[in-house]
Amino acid sequence: MKLILGLLFTALSLQSFAQKPEPVYSFVRQIYDFDWYEQQAKAWKQEIDRGTKDKMAWVYWFHANRYASITDTERYESIKAAYFQKPENILKLAEKAIPNSFELYYLRTKNDSGGYGSGDNIVKAQNLRPYDPLILPELMNNYQFKQDKSNIKLVSKKWLESNEMPQEILTTAYNNLVSLEPNAILLTYGDNDTYPYWVLQGGQKIRPDVLILNISLAIIDSYREILFKNNNIPALIISDPNNKTSETIVKHIFENVKDRPAYVSVFANQDIFKSYTNNLYLVGLSYKYSKEPFDNLAVIRNNVENKYLLDFLKHSFYKNYAQGVVNQMNTGYIAMFLKLHEHYLASGEIKKAQDIKELAKTVAENGGSSDWMKYFEK
């Protein structure tokens, strides 16, 4: 009896340590470490091996593999296990297990060479489950590449209706948009500083005069050609593949667009702008490119005091599944708060200095960036 109880206890203990399968969302919404993605890859592979009828198991297994690879490529490739498979291998298995399904077409879209919502797979997925939140980014890419304004507006409205995009991320996009000069060009780099802007422009007609130019996408010839043509930007032909870089796009905009103010999102990779550091001035959630110095501190103060919606930084009354990413994005406000804190102290506005410091502290602590606060003590 003792032996049986011992074996039972051991079995229960091992079961308790087994990773429970959880939804594996895009990096854009949730970010975990390699170990978590590895455990999820194991868990979802086990669910599939057990014959689960949940087709999303294939999506989550695919995601777990993809993000484990991105998080630690060397470690991912060194582990030889059935739960770690190359995307094309997962697709081959999925084609047999879930043929002609929405989930399969979604996976094919994510694995398309170049992706960006092109090809028949996004159309097939859309026909099966129109405007499903899972494919909204791919649909938006598809219509942006075609510059199909009517469908861009439709996807934007559907995205807003779905409530998939966190309100905090939308608010940050709103803050940046309303603070830019008329007909500005805003250079962006990633998903969370691009899609929210397109959604607000298309779905709520907020600052449609601003051109959101995603540098990563502009490297692609077909997209760059139609985007530049439609916005009266001088054509850029890149013959040498070695010059198809973000730096080439930035240089072209800064040096060839004379009639529109240019800005860079604070969330963009700053390395690609390092050649223009002396001409970039922080004005809030973006840097303005200018060959001539100007009082950017006055712009920051006006934005923070009169334009930005900031209450959401002070307290949140709900937790969403993307809270970690939201907290990290919120740290994009700290640099402007620091500049403003120094200004308030210099001008004798002690109460305002204290208030902005407290707000910065809240944002820094929530975003895991408390080291920022040492600069407020100087």
Average pLDDT over residues 336-348: 97
Mark whether 245 and 186 lie in a shared domain. Answer: yes
Q: What are 12-46's pLDDT values in tens digits? A: 333 334 579 999 999 999 999 999 999 999 999 99
d(CA 30, CA 319): 13
**% pLDDT > 70, the chain:** 94
Mark whether 127 and 63 lie in a shared domain. Answer: yes
Query: Total domain count for the chain?
Result: 3
Give me the pLDDT at residue 6, please: 41
> Per-residue confidence at 9, pLDDT binned at 50, 70, 90?
very low
The CA-atom distances, in angstroms, between 294 and each of 256, 280, 288, 299 are 21, 11, 10, 9
Rounded to 5 degrees, φ, ψ at 214 are -80, 115
Domain interval for residue 260: 165-299
Q: Which of 249, 269, 299 is the last residue of a domain?
A: 299
User: Is there a domain that residue 149 lies in?
Assistant: no
Q: What are 271-324's pLDDT values in tens digits? A: 999 999 999 999 999 999 999 999 999 999 999 999 999 999 998 888 889 999
Give me the pLDDT at residue 3, please: 35
d(CA 25, CA 94): 19
Give me the pLDDT at residue 187, please: 98
Give me the pLDDT at residue 319, please: 81
User: Is there a domain that residue 181 lies in?
Assistant: yes
Residue 1, pLDDT above cutoff 90: no
Mark whether 90 and 25 lie in a shared domain. Answer: yes
Q: Regarding predicted confidence, which is higher, 341 or 19?
A: 341
User: Is there a domain that residue 304 lies in?
Assistant: no
Mark whether 294 and 317 lie in a shared domain. Answer: no
Residue 362, pLDDT above cutoff 80: yes
User: Is there a domain that residue 119 lies in?
Assistant: yes
Give me the pLDDT at residue 19, please: 77
d(CA 338, CA 98): 53
User: Is there a domain that residue 263 lies in?
Assistant: yes
Give me the pLDDT at residue 173, please: 98
58 Rama class: left (phi>0) / alpha (psi -120 to 50) / beta: alpha
Q: What are 104-162's pLDDT values in tens digits? A: 999 999 987 555 555 799 999 999 999 999 999 999 999 999 999 999 999 999 999 99
Mark whether 342 and 227 lie in a shared domain. Answer: no
Q: What are 42-82's pLDDT values in tens digits? A: 999 999 999 999 999 999 999 999 999 999 999 999 999 99
Mark whether 327 and 285 lie in a shared domain. Answer: no
User: Is there a domain that residue 101 lies in?
Assistant: yes
Give me the pLDDT at residue 111, please: 86
Average pLDDT over residues 350-373: 96
d(CA 292, CA 192): 30
Give me the pLDDT at residue 378, please: 72
User: Is there a domain that residue 14 lies in?
Assistant: no
* Average pLDDT across the chain, whole number: 93
